[in-house]
Amino acid sequence: MEIYFKAGSIISDENYSGIFSYDERIKKYRALAYRYVDIIKKPGIIDNVFKDKKLEISSEINLRPYQKKSLEMWQRNNYSGTIVLPTAAGKTILGIYAITMLKVPTIILAPTIELIIQWREKLRDLLNVEVGQIGGGEKEIRDISVSTYDSAYLMAESLGNRFKFIIADEVHHMASESYLQIAKYYASPYRLGLTATYERDDKLHEVLEKYMGGKVFELGYEELNDFISNYKIVRIPIDLTDEDEIEYEKNHTIFLSYLRKRDIKINGNMNFEDLIRSSWSAEGKEALMAWRKSREIAFNAERKVEYLKYLLSKHAGEKIIIFSEDTSTAYLISREFLVPALTYMTSGKERKKYLEMFKSGEITVLATSRILDEGVDVPDASIAIIMSGSGSTRQFRQRLGRILRPSEGKASYLYELVSSGTTEYGTSRRRRKGVPVGLNDSA
pLDDT of 114 > 70? The answer is yes
Last residue of one domain, picked from the residues 161, 185, 220 = 220
**8 A C-beta contact, residue 76 and residue 68:** no
Q: 210 or 430: which carries more pLDDT confidence? A: 210
Element (H, E) at 341: strand 341-342
**Count of domains for the chain:** 4
Given 157, 188, 220, which residue is the final one in a domain?
220
Domain-terminating residue out of 255, 278, 298: 298
CB atoms within 10 A of CB 273: 8
**Quick one: 285 and 338 in the same domain?**
no
Supply angle C-alpha 239, 241, 243, rounded to 5.
140
Ranking 5-14, 50-59, 283-292 by mean pLDDT, the lowest is 283-292
260 in any annotated domain: yes
Q: Considering the entire predicted model, what is its pTM? A: 0.76
Q: What is the CATH number of the domain that holds 358?
A: 3.40.50.300
State how far the Cα of 205 lies from the Cα of 201, in Å rounded to an integer: 9
Lowest mean pLDDT among 98-107, 272-281, 332-341: 272-281
Q: Does 88 fall in a domain? A: yes
Mind listing the pLDDT tens digit for each residue in 21-70? 988 898 999 999 999 999 988 888 888 999 888 999 988 899 989 999 99
Query: Is residue 186 one of the residues assigned to a domain?
Result: yes
Clarify whether residues 272 and 400 are in a common domain. no
Query: What percent of the chain lies above the pLDDT cut of 70?
Result: 89
112 domain residue, yes or no: yes
So what's the pLDDT on residue 308?
94
pLDDT at 437: 56
| Mean pLDDT confidence for 212-230 | 76
319 shares a domain with 349: yes
Residue 441: per-residue pLDDT: 44
Residue 53: inside a domain: no
* CATH number, domain containing residue 41: 3.40.1170.30
pLDDT at 190: 97
3-state secondary structure of 23: strand
- At residue 442, does pLDDT exceed 50? no
pLDDT at res. 185: 95
- For the ranges 81-90, 125-134, 359-368, 398-407, the lowest mean pLDDT is seen at 398-407
* Cα 415 to Cα 152, 212, 234, distances in angstroms: 38, 36, 5
Residues 335 and 357 in one domain: yes
For residue 27, what are the domain limits?
2-47
In a domain? residue 59: no
Within 10 Å of residue 143's Cβ, how many Cβ atoms? 19
Give yes or no for residue 301 having a pLDDT over 80. no
Predicted confidence (pLDDT) at residue 165 exceeds the cutoff of 90: yes
Mean pLDDT of the chain: 86
pLDDT at 84 over 50: yes
pLDDT for the residue numbered 440: 44
Rounded to whole angstroms, what are the CA distances from 42 to 19, 240, 443? 12, 69, 67
Give the highest mean pLDDT range of 217-226, 299-308, 430-439. Answer: 299-308
Amino acid in position 240 = L
| Number of other residues whose CB lies within 10 A of the CB of residue 272 | 13
Query: Quick check: is 52 in a domain?
Result: no
Pairing label, strands 365-368, 320-323: parallel
